[in-house]
Chains A and B, each alone.
Chain A
Amino acid sequence: MLLQDAGSFRDISGHVFTDGTTVLRTVNACYQEQWEALEASGFLQRMEKEGLLVRHTERPPLPGSWKTLEVERIPFISYPYEWSFSQLKQAALLTLQLQKRALEEGFILKDATAYNVQFVGSRPVFIDLLSFEKHDGKSAWQAYGQFCRHFVAPLALIAKTDWRCGLLSRQWIDGVPLDLACRLLPWHARLSPGLYLHLYLHAGMQKKYEDGRKAAAKVRSATMGRRQLLDLADSLERCVAGLSAPEQNTEWGEYYTDTNYTPAGAEEKSRIVERVAAEHGGELAVDLGANTGVFSRMLCGHFKTVLAPDMDPRAVEKHAVSLAASGNAAILPLVLDLSSPSPDSGWACRERRSFMARCDADMVTALALCHHLVMGAGIPLPHVASFMASLVRPGGIVLFEFVPREDSQVQRLLAARDDIFASYTLERCLESFAEAGMREEASFSIRDSVRTLHCFRKESR
């Protein structure tokens, strides 16, 4: 059954409908003139051919719409606050590239929200076909403020202040307020000409002209020709391209140099993961706590899409950069803290969906993760099991590594705290998965290790 996407209501030009497999975009009569101009120019087709824009084909119009398009389905919808620095930067540069190309052909982007970009593996693609309109040759870029809030402010904050500032976009879904960004940035950020202009001067002008009545006359007389808009886009491009990921170390950035597997144990674990993945291949796999994606790469041969979430933004950044370099189109690294995953948010808490609501995986792996969730984040085993079960479809698989109390890494976790985890046992773990509707299908021990791997299948409804 076709349902309107809960996040598609702001733009009156058209809306998105989906039944889970097909994605339709309606075009309303008010956008007819713009659409016909775009069609006649061949601009959209060229952008699609170059892979910058999502592909579309025409379908019989849905009731109430002027035109209906079927658009390419994105394997997993992710949000800007789940992207690493380089992913957000790629999305910003794609938006600017499209703005420049549109300007050259007499069009302009009417909005510049980061939610208009999605990732197919490491490749960013612009998904909003109705974001373009004819430029009258004199109007300013209405989406300039939005571009700075969605891209320049969070990128600058991550680059100059802290990796974790990317999560500010989770609170401000229409972008980080510029005055807040200016207050959080270190003093030396204003020495960068791009940041000074697009953040500090911009925020200052917003403050100065915050009363629309006083600014109305000036705003009406402000004109921006195509050349000025291209200059503005060039300036933004230089500013964004000049920002680089911070060198700051994080907790998990060097995880794989700090494990307790022997080479033989690590090899055997890899073999088991590969075998289970091969036996249960499908559309979507999720490698929870993927770090830099060692195991995600093993899954990607057997699944069309592999999500590789990790709470550590530096590890995710490393992973995203390596995938972009290799052009991997299957793995999507995401910044996600499992103890507080992306929630439902936005208007009526329905505009942006929670990670769990978007995830209907064929297989979930949770390798060397359970002790961190239980002892690090204080999540009891039954909660961990029901969370894992909520991520897989009925009939799907969870490959779970149990790290017992005797393991040296668990001893490290317990070294400086009271051991209040009496129920942290393999028996309780298996019971918890059974209570969550997951049946154990196989278990494997790992050579030279006290750890065990367990394969659970979610009962079909």
Chain B
Amino acid sequence: MSARKNFRLLLWGGMAIAMYISFFPDTAHAGYLDPGSGSTLAQVIIAAAAGIRRFWAGLLSPFTRFFKK
């Protein structure tokens, strides 16, 4: 009886560990993470946003200058 209980405990324990591993990413590969790729792609978006801002600022500058006078 106690052997069967232990077997069941092992089975459930094993399943719980397997589920944990499949649901949560393995952190052992953290040394291969590359923050540089994200930085490169982020700057493309940010530079585009800054370019749009510059375009509008240039377009509106005669008006803003006029109202500042």
Residues on A facing B (Cβ under 8 Å): 140-142, 144-145, 148, 178, 197-198, 201-212, 215-216, 218-219, 222, 224, 227-229, 231-232, 234-235
- Tell me whether B50 is interfacial, beta carbon within 8 Å: yes
Q: Which residue of A lies closest to B36 (CB)?
A: A145
Q: A219, B32: Cβ atoms under 8 Å? A: no
B11: chain A residues at CB < 8 Å are none
Q: A144, B44: Cβ atoms under 8 Å? A: no
Complex Cα gap A449–B40 (Å): 62
Q: A235, B39: Cβ atoms under 8 Å? A: no
**A202-B39 CB under 8 A given contacts A211-B34, A212-B32, A212-B34:** yes
Partner of A228, one of B33, B34, B38, B47: B47
Q: A227, B51: Cβ atoms under 8 Å? A: yes
Q: Is the interface of B mostly helix, strand, loop or mixed?
A: helix
Q: B44, A222: Cβ atoms under 8 Å? A: yes
Q: How far is the CB of B6 from chain A (nearest CB, A)?
A: 40
Q: Is the interface of A mostly helix, strand, loop or mixed?
A: helix
Complex Cα gap A202–B45 (Å): 10
- Tell me whether B48 is interfacial, beta carbon within 8 Å: yes
Complex Cα gap A231–B44 (Å): 10
Q: A232, B50: Cβ atoms under 8 Å? A: yes
**A216-B37 CB under 8 A given contacts A224-B47, A231-B47:** yes
Q: A209, B37: Cβ atoms under 8 Å? A: yes
**A141-B43 CB under 8 A given contacts A197-B49, A235-B49:** yes
Q: How far is the CB of B23 from chain A (nearest CB, A)?
A: 18
**A222-B40 CB under 8 A given contacts A198-B46, A229-B47, A235-B50:** yes
Q: A210, B38: Cβ atoms under 8 Å? A: yes
A-B pairs with CB below 8 Å: how many? 97
**A209-B43 CB under 8 A given contacts A228-B51, A231-B51, A235-B50:** no
Q: A215, B41: Cβ atoms under 8 Å? A: yes
Q: A140, B43: Cβ atoms under 8 Å? A: yes
B51: chain A residues at CB < 8 Å are 227-228, 231
- Tell me whether B16 is interfacial, beta carbon within 8 Å: no
Q: B37, A212: Cβ atoms under 8 Å? A: yes
Complex Cα gap A167–B36 (Å): 24
Q: B38, A215: Cβ atoms under 8 Å? A: yes
- For the complex of A and B, list the 4 residue pairs with the smallest distance between their C-beta atoms, beginning with the closest: A206-B38, A145-B39, A212-B34, A215-B37
Q: How far is the CB of A167 from chain B (nearest CB, A)?
A: 22
**A202-B47 CB under 8 A given contacts A145-B35, A234-B54:** no
B47: chain A residues at CB < 8 Å are 224, 228-229, 231-232, 235
Q: B44, A140: Cβ atoms under 8 Å? A: yes
A234: chain B residues at CB < 8 Å are 50, 54
**A142-B46 CB under 8 A given contacts A209-B41, A228-B51, A231-B54:** no
Complex Cα gap A211–B47 (Å): 23
Q: How far is the CB of A181 from chain B (nearest CB, A)?
A: 13
Complex Cα gap A197–B42 (Å): 8
| 12 additional contacts (CB under 8 A) given A202-B38, A224-B44, A231-B50 | A145-B35, A202-B42, A207-B38, A210-B37, A215-B34, A218-B37, A228-B48, A229-B47, A231-B54, A235-B46, A235-B47, A235-B49
Q: A206, B43: Cβ atoms under 8 Å? A: no
B43: chain A residues at CB < 8 Å are 140-141, 144, 224, 232
Q: Which residue of A lies closest to B51 (CB)?
A: A231
**A208-B34 CB under 8 A given contacts A140-B43, A232-B43:** no
Query: B44, B47, B50 — which one has the most chain A CB atoms within 10 A of its CB?
Result: B47
Q: B54, A206: Cβ atoms under 8 Å? A: no
Q: List 12 A-B contacts (CB under 8 A).
A: A144-B43, A145-B38, A197-B46, A201-B46, A202-B42, A205-B45, A209-B34, A209-B37, A227-B51, A228-B51, A235-B47, A235-B50
**A210-B54 CB under 8 A given contacts A224-B47, A228-B47, A232-B43:** no
Complex Cα gap A219–B40 (Å): 7
